[in-house]
Amino acid sequence: MTDWERIERSDEFRELVKRRRSFVVPATIFFLVYYMAFIIVAGYAPDFMGESVYQGLTVGYCYALTQFVMVFVLGLWYLRKSDKEFDPLADKVVEAAAEFEAGDVRFVRKDDTEVKA
Protein backbone atom coordinates (compact mmCIF):
# COMPACT_ATOMS: atom_id res chain seq x y z
CA MET A 1 0.00 0.00 0.00
CA THR A 2 1.30 3.38 -0.96
CA ASP A 3 1.18 5.83 1.93
CA TRP A 4 -0.33 8.79 0.08
CA GLU A 5 -0.56 10.98 3.13
CA ARG A 6 3.13 10.62 3.83
CA ILE A 7 4.03 11.45 0.22
CA GLU A 8 1.76 14.49 0.29
CA ARG A 9 3.58 15.74 3.38
CA SER A 10 7.06 15.12 1.96
CA ASP A 11 9.28 18.07 1.11
CA GLU A 12 9.74 16.83 -2.45
CA PHE A 13 6.01 16.88 -3.11
CA ARG A 14 5.46 20.23 -1.40
CA GLU A 15 8.24 21.73 -3.48
CA LEU A 16 6.72 20.39 -6.72
CA VAL A 17 3.27 21.75 -5.91
CA LYS A 18 4.64 25.10 -4.77
CA ARG A 19 6.76 25.60 -7.89
CA ARG A 20 4.06 24.51 -10.33
CA ARG A 21 1.42 26.65 -8.64
CA SER A 22 3.64 29.70 -8.67
CA PHE A 23 3.62 29.41 -12.46
CA VAL A 24 0.15 28.07 -13.25
CA VAL A 25 -1.90 30.34 -10.97
CA PRO A 26 -0.51 33.70 -12.20
CA ALA A 27 -0.48 32.42 -15.82
CA THR A 28 -4.15 31.36 -15.57
CA ILE A 29 -5.20 34.68 -14.04
CA PHE A 30 -3.23 36.55 -16.68
CA PHE A 31 -4.68 34.77 -19.70
CA LEU A 32 -8.26 34.89 -18.39
CA VAL A 33 -7.98 38.62 -17.69
CA TYR A 34 -6.26 39.35 -21.01
CA TYR A 35 -8.84 37.33 -22.95
CA MET A 36 -11.89 38.71 -21.12
CA ALA A 37 -10.53 42.25 -21.58
CA PHE A 38 -10.50 41.59 -25.32
CA ILE A 39 -14.09 40.28 -25.26
CA ILE A 40 -15.30 43.19 -23.10
CA VAL A 41 -13.65 45.79 -25.33
CA ALA A 42 -15.13 44.07 -28.41
CA GLY A 43 -18.57 44.11 -26.79
CA TYR A 44 -18.58 47.61 -25.29
CA ALA A 45 -16.23 49.55 -27.60
CA PRO A 46 -16.85 48.27 -31.13
CA ASP A 47 -15.92 51.61 -32.69
CA PHE A 48 -12.49 51.57 -31.06
CA MET A 49 -11.95 48.00 -32.31
CA GLY A 50 -12.98 49.07 -35.80
CA GLU A 51 -10.50 51.96 -35.97
CA SER A 52 -7.86 51.65 -38.63
CA VAL A 53 -4.24 51.03 -37.72
CA TYR A 54 -3.14 50.91 -41.33
CA GLN A 55 -5.78 50.97 -44.09
CA GLY A 56 -8.04 47.92 -43.64
CA LEU A 57 -6.01 46.56 -40.73
CA THR A 58 -8.01 47.40 -37.59
CA VAL A 59 -7.21 47.72 -33.90
CA GLY A 60 -9.48 44.71 -33.32
CA TYR A 61 -7.57 42.44 -35.72
CA CYS A 62 -4.22 43.44 -34.17
CA TYR A 63 -5.60 42.91 -30.66
CA ALA A 64 -6.86 39.49 -31.77
CA LEU A 65 -3.42 38.61 -33.14
CA THR A 66 -1.89 39.33 -29.73
CA GLN A 67 -4.23 36.66 -28.31
CA PHE A 68 -2.68 34.13 -30.70
CA VAL A 69 0.80 35.22 -29.62
CA MET A 70 -0.21 34.90 -25.95
CA VAL A 71 -1.47 31.33 -26.47
CA PHE A 72 1.67 30.23 -28.32
CA VAL A 73 4.07 31.89 -25.87
CA LEU A 74 2.32 30.56 -22.74
CA GLY A 75 2.07 27.08 -24.31
CA LEU A 76 5.76 26.86 -25.17
CA TRP A 77 6.83 28.49 -21.90
CA TYR A 78 4.85 25.99 -19.83
CA LEU A 79 6.25 23.10 -21.90
CA ARG A 80 9.79 24.32 -21.21
CA LYS A 81 9.19 24.96 -17.51
CA SER A 82 7.68 21.48 -17.15
CA ASP A 83 10.58 19.73 -18.87
CA LYS A 84 13.26 21.60 -16.96
CA GLU A 85 11.65 22.15 -13.59
CA PHE A 86 8.40 20.32 -12.81
CA ASP A 87 9.11 16.89 -14.36
CA PRO A 88 12.44 16.38 -12.54
CA LEU A 89 10.70 17.33 -9.28
CA ALA A 90 7.84 14.91 -9.97
CA ASP A 91 10.40 12.18 -10.73
CA LYS A 92 12.02 12.84 -7.35
CA VAL A 93 8.68 12.36 -5.60
CA VAL A 94 8.09 9.09 -7.43
CA GLU A 95 11.64 7.86 -6.71
CA ALA A 96 11.38 8.75 -3.06
CA ALA A 97 8.05 6.94 -2.82
CA ALA A 98 9.53 3.83 -4.44
CA GLU A 99 12.52 3.88 -2.09
CA PHE A 100 10.28 4.33 0.90
CA GLU A 101 8.19 1.36 -0.09
CA ALA A 102 11.38 -0.64 -0.48
CA GLY A 103 12.06 0.11 3.19
CA ASP A 104 14.52 2.92 2.71
CA VAL A 105 13.68 5.85 4.97
CA ARG A 106 13.80 8.95 2.81
CA PHE A 107 10.86 10.99 3.87
CA VAL A 108 11.66 13.76 6.22
CA ARG A 109 8.98 15.72 8.02
CA LYS A 110 8.88 19.49 8.05
CA ASP A 111 10.44 19.54 11.50
CA ASP A 112 13.37 17.49 10.13
CA THR A 113 12.69 14.41 12.25
CA GLU A 114 13.02 11.22 10.28
CA VAL A 115 9.99 9.08 9.82
CA LYS A 116 10.60 5.46 10.72
CA ALA A 117 9.01 2.90 8.50
Partner 1 sequence: MLLFAEVNVEALVMAAIILAITLGITFWASKKASSAVGFYAAGRQITGRQNGLAISGDYLSAASFLGIAGLIFLYGFDGFLYSIGFLVAFLTVMFLLAERMRNAGKYTIADVLSFRLNETPARAAAALGTFAVVTFYLIAQMVGAGVLIEKLVGINFSLAVLLTGAFMLCYVIFGGMVATTWVQIVKAVLLMAGILTMSIFVLGKVGFNPVELFNRANENKGPESTFSLAPGTYLPKPLDTVSLGLALVLGTAGLPHILMRFFTVPNAKAARSSVVWAMFIIGFFYLLTTFIGFGARAFLGEGGVEGAGTGGNLAAPNLAAFLGGGEGTFGGDLFLAFIAGVAFATILAVVAGLVLSASAAFSHDIWSSIVRKGKDSEHEEVLVARIAAFGIGVIAIIIAIIGGSGLNVSFMVGLAFAVAASANFPALVLALSWRRFNTTGAITGVVTGVVSSIFLVIVSPKVWPGADTVTGSPIGWTLNNPGIISIPLGFLGCFLGTILSKERTEERSFNELFVRSETGLGSERALEKVG
Q: How far is the CB of 34 from partner 1 (least distance, A)?
A: 9
Q: How far is the CB of 102 from partner 1 (least distance, A)?
A: 15
| Beta bridge mates, 52 | 58
Exposure of 113 in the CB half-sphere (CA atoms within 13 A): 4
- Of 87 and 114, which has the nearer Cβ to partner 1? 87
Pair 21, 15: CB distance under 8 Å: no
Our finding on whether 20 is near partner 1 (CB under 8 A) is yes
How many C-beta atoms lie closer than 10 Å to residue 47's C-beta?
Answer: 7
Q: How far is the CB of 60 from partner 1 (least distance, A)?
A: 5
- Of 44 and 103, which has the nearer Cβ to partner 1? 44
Our finding on whether 73 is near partner 1 (CB under 8 A) is no
For the chain, the farthest-separated pair of C-alpha atoms sits apart, in whole angstroms, at 73
Q: How far is the CB of 112 from partner 1 (least distance, A)?
A: 21
Element (H, E) at 7: helix 4-9
Please identify which residue in 15, 22, 33, 82 interacts with partner 1, judged by CB under 8 A. Answer: 82
